Amino acid sequence: TIARSLLTRNRAIVGGALYNYAYDGHLTTTISRSAITANEATDGGGIYTFGTVHLIWYAGGRATLDVLNSFDGGNAADLGGGGAIAVHQSSPPFASPESPQVPPPFGGSFANVAFSTLSNNAAAFGAIAAIRSDSSQARRCDMMPPFECPVA
C-alpha cells in the first residue's frame, strides 16, 4: 500500500514510478490519497502492472492495481502505451482452440481507478492502456468501490 505519498520525477524502462509485477500468486497494490507526477518510461509512464499466465501449469500471477482518491498526471510513456497506467498480461504464445488461454483467476492484470484524476499524461496510445491480452482489463469506476467496477 502506498498512501499519502508523492512519487515524482522518476525514470525507468517500464513503470516510471511503480512496477507492479506478479509471476505467481496474487499481488494487489493500492495507491491511496497520493500523487504520481512527472515520471517517464518507455511503457507505463506512471505505473506498469504486469501479470502472467502459465498455460502448462494452469497457474500464473494475478496483478491488481487499485488507485483511489489520487492524482496521476504529467507522466510520459516515450514509445509505448499508458502515459498514466499500462496494464499488461503475458500469455503463452502457443494457445489454440484445443489449448485456450487460461482465464482469471489463474493470472492476468487488472487496474481499478476510482475517485481519481488522470490528467496531462502522454503516450503513443492511451492514458490507460490494456496491452496484448484477453485477460488484461482496465476499469473506470464512477461513484462505486473498485471491486464493483464494470468492465470497460
Query: At 47, is the secondary structure helix, strand, or coil?
Result: strand
Q: How far apart are CA 99 and CA 121, in angstroms?
A: 38
| Average pLDDT for 110-122 | 90
Pairing verdict, β 59-68 and 47-54: antiparallel
25-74 pLDDT, tens digit each: 889 999 999 999 999 999 999 999 988 876 655 567 888 999 999 999 99
- Tell me what the pLDDT averaged over the chain comes to: 78
Pick from 48, 13, 17: which is nearest to 35 by CA? 17
Q: How far apart are CA 61 and CA 109, in angstroms?
A: 8
